C-alpha cells in the first residue's frame, strides 16, 4: 500500500469514528430524555388507570317508568285573585301586588300551634306570593298549585284551596308553553277538593286506583309543581292511613281521613297526585304538617276513593250533597258517661235540631246512638261517615239506648246544608230546588222566588227576583251585585218576574244610566228577616251582552 493510500484510509477511519461517537451520544441523550419524561409522568399517580365512558344505556326503574307515564296527566295551575272592591281599578292596571309572607320565617313557629290554621299550611307556592290556608284575601294575589287530568275531555281534579275565590285560573301542561284558561265545575270545601275544566280534548287521563288497598309501608310517588317547578317527582312510603285532622271550627265534623306519606311535598304540590307502584292515583296531595312550611314534615293526601265520590257528584250536580240526621253529639264519648246512660258504646246526643230528621223521628237529647243499619257506632266519626254518605231521602234504622233501654228508630236523611244552614250554608237565602235560573244581560242569572221560599227567607218586600250567579268582570260584577241579592226595581220600574228584567234591559243601549234597587241580607245575619236596601248604579258599557 502506498503512502497516499495509508493516509486516505486513516482519515476515513477517523471520520467514521467521529460519526459513530456522535450517533452513540444522540441515542444516549434520547433514551435519557424519554426515560426522564416517563418517570415524571408516572410519579403523579403510578397506579392509576384512565377512565373510559361507555356508550349510553337507559337504566330505567319503576319510579322513572311511572314518572314518564304520568307526566302528560299532571298539570301546573296558576291563579289570580282580585277583590271585588279593587276589581275595576285592577282591570285598568296590569300590575298585581303579591301578598308578602312574614319577614321572619321563624316568627310563625313561635305562635300558638293550636287549631288547623296554625298547624297545617296548605300550599299555593309562588315563592313569597302564595296564600296560606284560612288567611283573609284582602289584596290582589297570585298563586300556584297542581292538578291531575282524570278525563280526556279536559276535566281535572285539584284542591279547593288552590282555586278558591280565584278570578282567573290557567292550566299549563308539561312540554306545552300554552296557558289554557280553566273554569271551576264545582268545589267541596269539606274535603278540600275541586273539579276544573279546560277546553282541550284528547288528553291523557291518569289511571285511578283504589286507596282501600293501601298498606302502611307501601311505596308512594308524589308529582306536582313545588315552588312552580313543573313535573317534579318525589318518592316515599305510606306512613299511616285514615289520619283524621281535627277541624277547630267544627270539632267532630270531619270528612277528611288522609293518607299520610313521607314523600317530599312542598308548596305548589297541592292538588297533584299521589301514586302507587302501578302508576295509579291513590290520593290527591293536600297539606303538610311542618313548622318551616317545606317538606321537612308530614304530607297528607285525600284518598282517591273519597275524591272519586266527590268528583262524581260534582260532574253530575255541580256540588256535593251530604246527609244529616239533625243532631249534635259528643264526638269521642267517655265510657263513664255512656255507662250511666246504659250503653257500653255509642255517641251521646247533646242537641236535636228543631224540625230536623231526628226530631221528626222522635230522637231526644241524652239518647245514645249505638248502631246505624246494624253497624255498631263507637265514635262520632263512625256516625258521620255513614250518615254523610247516605242519599238524601233514604231511611236509616238507628239503634239507640234511652233510659237504659235499647230501641230502633227510623230516621229519614236530610240535606246537611239545609238542616244546619247557619253552620254549613249560611242563612237560607234561596230555594233548595226552586225554579231554574235564567241568564240575563249584564252578566247575571236570576230566578223567581216562590212564596214558600220568600217566607223562609224572611223577605217582607213583595215582588223581586233573586240573583243566582254573577259573572266575573261583567257589568253586574262592577256594580257589586252578588249571588243571593233580590232585585226589586230596575230603573225605578218594579220587578216581579225575569221577563220584567229582560223587557227593561232590551230598552237600554251602551252609555245609558242604570240603577237597581236590591235587597241584601245584612252582614252577619244568621236567619231570615235582616234585609237591607242597596241602590247600585252605573252606565251600560260598550259591547255589553
What's the chain's length in residues?
545
Residue 280: CA count within 13 A, CB half-sphere = 12
Q: For residues 266 and 276, what is the distance between their CA atoms, to the nearest angstrom?
A: 19
Tell me, what DSSP letter sits at residue 208? B
Cα angle, residue 274 at apex, residues 172 and 258 outer, rounded to 5°: 125
Residue 385: CA count within 13 A, CB half-sphere = 14
Q: For residues 219 and 490, what is the distance between their CA atoms, to the nearest angstrom?
A: 62
Q: For residues 133 and 100, what is the distance between their CA atoms, to the nearest angstrom?
A: 15
State the catalytic residue, choosing from 141, 211, 254, 270: 270
Alpha carbon of residue 25 to chain centroid: 86
Q: Is 185 in contact with 318 (CB distance < 8 Å)?
A: yes
Alpha carbon of residue 410 to chain centroid: 38
Find the helix or strand (DSSP H, E) in which 36 lies.
helix 3-42
Q: For residues 320 and 311, what is the distance between their CA atoms, to the nearest angstrom?
A: 9
The helix/strand/coil state of 287 is strand
Tell me, what DSSP letter sits at residue 40? H
161: annotated active-site residue: yes
The helix/strand/coil state of 155 is strand
Q: Which regions of 424-528 does DSSP assign to beta strands (E)?
A: 438-440, 444-447, 465-470, 486-490, 493-494, 513-521
Q: For residues 267 and 284, what is the distance between their CA atoms, to the nearest angstrom?
A: 14
344: annotated active-site residue: no
* Buried-state track 66-78, b at ≥16 Cβ within 10 A, e below 16: bbeebbbbbbbbb
Cα angle, residue 85 at apex, residues 80 and 90 outer, rounded to 5°: 50
Instruction: List the one residue out of 389, 424, 414, 430 whose CA is nearest residue 520.
Output: 430
Phi and psi at 118, nearest 5°, equal: -75, -30
Cβ count within 10 A of residue 201: 8
108: annotated active-site residue: no
Q: Is 327 in contact with 349 (CB distance < 8 Å)?
A: yes
State the catalytic residue, choosing from 73, 141, 161, 253: 161
C-alpha cell at 471: 259573572
State the catalytic residue, choosing from 192, 415, 485, 500: 192
Find the helix or strand (DSSP H, E) in which 395 lies.
strand 395-402
C-alpha cell at 93: 292596571
Instruction: List the one residue out of 143, 135, 137 whose CA is nearest residue 84.
Output: 137
Q: For residues 463 and 358, what is the distance between their CA atoms, to the nearest angstrom?
A: 35
Q: Which residues have a catalytic role annotated? A: 161, 192, 270
Amino acid at each position: 500500500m502506498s503512502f497516499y493510500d495509508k493516509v486516505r484510509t486513516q482519515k476515513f477511519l477517523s471520520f467514521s469514528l467521529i460519526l459513530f461517537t456522535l450517533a452513540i451520544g444522540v441515542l444516549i441523550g434520547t433514551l435519557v430524555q424519554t426515560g426522564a419524561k416517563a418517570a415524571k409522568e408516572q410519579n403523579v399517580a403510578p397506579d392509576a388507570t384512565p377512565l373510559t365512558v361507555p356508550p349510553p344505556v337507559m337504566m330505567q326503574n319503576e319510579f322513572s317508568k311511572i314518572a314518564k307515564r304520568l307526566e302528560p296527566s299532571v298539570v301546573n295551575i296558576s291563579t289570580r285573585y282580585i277583590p271585588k272592591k279593587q276589581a275595576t281599578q285592577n282591570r285598568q292596571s296590569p300590575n298585581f301586588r303579591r301578598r308578602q309572607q312574614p319577614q321572619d320565617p321563624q316568627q310563625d313557629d313561635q305562635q300558638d300551634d293550636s287549631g288547623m290554621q296554625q298547624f297545617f299550611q296548605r300550599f299555593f307556592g309562588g315563592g313569597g306570593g302564595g296564600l296560606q290556608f284560612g288567611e283573609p284575601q284582602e289584596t290582589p294575589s297570585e298563586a300556584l298549585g297542581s292538578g291531575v287530568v282524570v278525563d280526556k275531555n279536559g276535566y281535572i281534579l285539584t284542591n279547593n284551596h288552590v282555586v278558591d275565590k280565584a278570578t282567573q285560573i290557567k292550566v299549563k301542561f308539561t312540554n306545552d308553553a300554552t296557558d289554557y284558561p280553566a273554569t271551576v265545575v264545582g268545589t267541596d270545601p269539606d274535603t278540600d277538593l275541586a273539579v276544573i275544566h279546560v277546553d282541550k280534548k284528547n288528553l291523557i287521563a291518569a289511571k285511578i286506583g283504589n286507596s282501600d288497598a293501601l298498606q302502611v309501608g307501601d311505596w308512594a310517588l308524589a308529582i306536582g309543581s313545588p315552588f312552580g317547578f313543573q313535573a317534579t317527582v318525589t318518592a316515599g312510603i305510606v306512613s299511616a292511613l285514615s289520619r283524621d285532622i281535627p277541624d277547630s271550627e267544627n270539632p267532630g265534623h270531619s270528612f277528611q281521613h288522609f293518607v299520610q306519606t313521607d314523600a317530599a311535598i312542598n308548596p305548589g304540590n297541592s292538588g297533584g297526585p299521589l301514586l302507587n307502584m302501578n302508576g295509579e292515583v291513590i290520593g290527591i296531595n293536600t297539606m303538610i304538617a311542618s313548622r318551616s312550611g317545606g317538606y321537612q314534615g308530614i304530607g297528607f293526601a285525600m284518598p282517591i276513593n273519597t275524591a272519586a265520590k266527590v268528583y262524581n257528584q260534582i260532574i253530575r250536580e255541580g256540588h256535593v250533597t251530604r246527609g244529616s240526621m239533625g243532631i249534635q253529639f259528643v264526638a269521642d264519648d267517655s265510657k263513664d258517661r255512656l255507662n250511666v246512660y246504659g250503653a257500653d258504646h255509642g255517641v251521646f246526643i247533646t242537641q236535636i235540631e228543631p224540625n230536623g230528621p231526628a226530631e221528626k223521628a222522635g230522637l231526644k237529647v241524652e239518647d245514645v246512638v249505638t248502631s246505624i243499619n246494624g253497624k255498631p257506632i263507637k265514635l262520632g266519626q263512625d256516625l258521620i261517615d255513614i250518615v254523610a254518605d247516605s242519599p238524601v231521602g233514604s231511611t236509616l234504622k238507628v239503634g239507640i239506648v234511652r233510659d237504659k233501654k235499647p230501641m230502633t228508630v227510623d230516621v229519614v236523611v236530610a240535606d246537611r246544608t239545609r238542616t244546619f244552614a247557619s253552620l254549613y250554608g249560611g242563612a237560607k237565602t234561596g230555594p233548595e230546588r226552586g225554579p231554574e235560573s235564567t241568564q240575563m244581560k249584564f252578566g247575571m242569572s236570576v230566578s223567581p222566588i216562590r212564596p214558600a221560599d220568600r217566607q223562609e227567607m224572611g223577605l217582607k218586600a213583595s215582588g223581586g227576583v233573586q240573583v243566582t250567579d254573577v259573572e266575573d268582570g261583567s257589568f253586574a260584577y262592577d256594580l257589586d251585585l252578588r249571588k243571593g241579592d233580590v232585585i226589586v226595581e230596575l230603573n225605578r220600574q218594579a220587578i216581579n218576574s225575569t221577563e220584567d228584567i229582560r223587557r227593561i234591559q232590551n230598552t237600554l243601549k251602551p252609555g245609558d244610566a242604570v240603577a237597581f234597587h236590591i235587597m241584601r241580607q245584612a252582614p252577619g245575619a244568621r236567619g231570615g228577616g235582616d234585609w237591607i236596601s242597596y241602590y247600585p248604579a252605573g252606565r251600560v258599557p260598550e259591547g255589553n251582552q
